Amino acid sequence: MQNVQNPIIIDQNYCPGDRGCPDQSSGVRISGVTYNDIHGSSASEVAVNFDCSASNPCTGIGLQDIKLTYGNTAAESSCKHADGTASGFVVPPSCL
């Protein structure tokens, strides 16, 4: 993939238009998701974004052999209420 806005994302706090859902809590439990062999460039500095719910955190997230850049540098990752593992070559450094 090349110049992708959100290459790897889980967003349980998505609120369209930021109206009618402040401080929402997701009722959906996300677990056992693996991202494997993903290479390319990100259009945003944060290429890996796991923004999970405090009441139903993401568990068992796996990153394997990921290489994402932003411009000429490694992209960044951001994790909130997410737990999992990273293995193999993972860029940006995993926050799991």
What is the reported pLDDT for 45? Answer: 95
Nearest to 92 by CA among 71, 70, 76, 79: 76
pLDDT in tens, 4-55: 999 999 998 887 776 767 667 777 899 999 999 999 999 999 999 999 998 9
Q: What is the pTM of this model?
A: 0.88
Is residue 20 included in any domain, yes or no?
Answer: no
Residue 56 inside a domain? The answer is: yes
Domain of residue 49, residue span: 44-95
User: Beta-carbon neighbour count of residue 55 at 10 Å?
Assistant: 12
Query: Residue 8: inside a domain, yes or no?
Result: no
**How does pLDDT run across 44-58, given as a tens digit for each residue?**
999 999 999 989 999
| Overall number of domains in the chain | 1
